[in-house]
Structure 1
Amino acid sequence: MEAILIDAFEFCRLGESRTGEFAVADFPRLVAELAVPSGVIRWTLTGGKHTLGYPQLTVTVTGAVQLMCQRCLTPYEFAIDVESVLVLAQDEVAADELEASLDDESLEVIAGSRQFGVTDLVEDEALLALPVSPRHDVCPEPSQQASPVGGSKAPSPFGALKDWKR
């Protein structure tokens, strides 16, 4: 996958907009969090100005990914659907100062650049959308196919230890 770079300040000044999609498998940090590295992430990036005149990016990220349920340890589909408003500052120090002065929880202030990585931004937003502890709303019933033939109880993994002790 080729990285998409923009001049973030010029993008905002001109009020440009871009859309696209990436394969989930193209995001190594996201894949590390998933049960199955399949699917597509769609994104839209729109430049503009904050009401106080600061450059602002609005990023929307949507798609479906397969997470591992922490309760039943089976994969399930999780829908990503986020929109973030990012106010741009010249550097990290200015971003911290601007964030403190805006005092608005709905905004995030980041350092912009002339070589701003859209690909990284989309992956970051997808990662931030993932739940801390992924799980089904209601876990599925254990499958009848998972039980041994004849309905007998599966041997305990500790049974071998008991025999070994003798």
Structure 2
Amino acid sequence: MSAFVIDAFEFSRLKERREGDVSIADMARLSAESVNKSASLHWTLQGGADSLNHPQLILTVSGEIELMCQRCMTPLKFAVESESVLILAKTDERADEIDILLADDTVDVIVGSKAMNVMELIEDEALLAIPLAPKHDICPGNAVLDDLMSTKKASPFDVLKGLKQ
């Protein structure tokens, strides 16, 4: 994965904005989950501050990734549409303090750095957006499986009853 490194605090202070596309093949962990490695995701990163003046990053990731359906083992297209508000802290202890202060599940408090790899943030965001066990609502081409499921099997008790007679 090609690194895109920022000083997270300076990026937030200057309210910078960057966006781009990244190939799924360039993200090892996400690539391992994907059937189609040639697809890409679009991302946007916006710096700023929250209402209490904590530095923050707003990361959006969107696109389509093909996952393997865990029911029928065929590809499943999954739309990634994710936005995260990341409040920056200088230390783990300060991150915990801010998290308690905000008491808001819609934001994540993370430890920022002067050398933050944005591509890792993007990959993390995409991984959190995909389901743990992806499944089609209705699996395609499962007529044979549907027939097997609808065929009534003889009850073991009916078989025993037949043997008694």
Q: CA deviation at 1:21?
A: 0.9
Gaps of 5+ in 2: 145-165
Give runs of aligned pairs for residues 90-105 of structure 1, distance below 5 A.
Answer: 90-105=90-105
Instruction: Name 1:36's counterpart in structure 2.
Output: 36
- AA in 2 matched with 1:22: V
Instruction: Name 1:20's counterpart in structure 2.
Output: 20
Gaps of 5+ in 1: 145-166
TM-score relative to the length of structure 2: 0.83
Instruction: Name 1:77's counterpart in structure 2.
Output: 77
TM-score relative to the length of structure 1: 0.83
Q: CA deviation at 1:93?
A: 2.0
Cα distance in 2 between the residues matched to 1:38 and 1:66: 10
- AA in 2 matched with 1:65: I
- AA in 2 matched with 1:114: K
- AA in 1 matched with 2:84: S
- Taking structure 1 as reference, are residues 19 and 137 closer, same or farther at Cα in structure 2, changes over 3 Å only? same
- AA in 2 matched with 1:60: T
- Quick check: 1:38–1:65 contact (8 Å CA) kept in 2? no
Give runs of aligned pairs for residues 72-151 of structure 1, distance below 5 A.
Answer: 72-142=72-142
Identity of aligned residues (%): 50
- AA in 1 matched with 2:30: L
1:119-142 CA distances to partner (integer Å, 9 max, x unpaired)?
A: 100000000001111011211123
1:4-59 CA distances to partner (integer Å, 9 max, x unpaired)?
A: 00011011011110001111000001111122322001100000010011001000
Cα distance in 2 between the residues matched to 1:130 and 1:21: 18
- Quick check: 2:76–2:136 contact (8 Å CA) kept in 1? yes
Cα distance in 2 between the residues matched to 1:109 and 1:36: 32
1:85-109 CA distances to partner (integer Å, 9 max, x unpaired)?
A: 0000002221122111210011100
Q: Which SS does the other structure have where 2:33 is aligned?
A: coil
Instruction: Name 1:4's counterpart in structure 2.
Output: 4
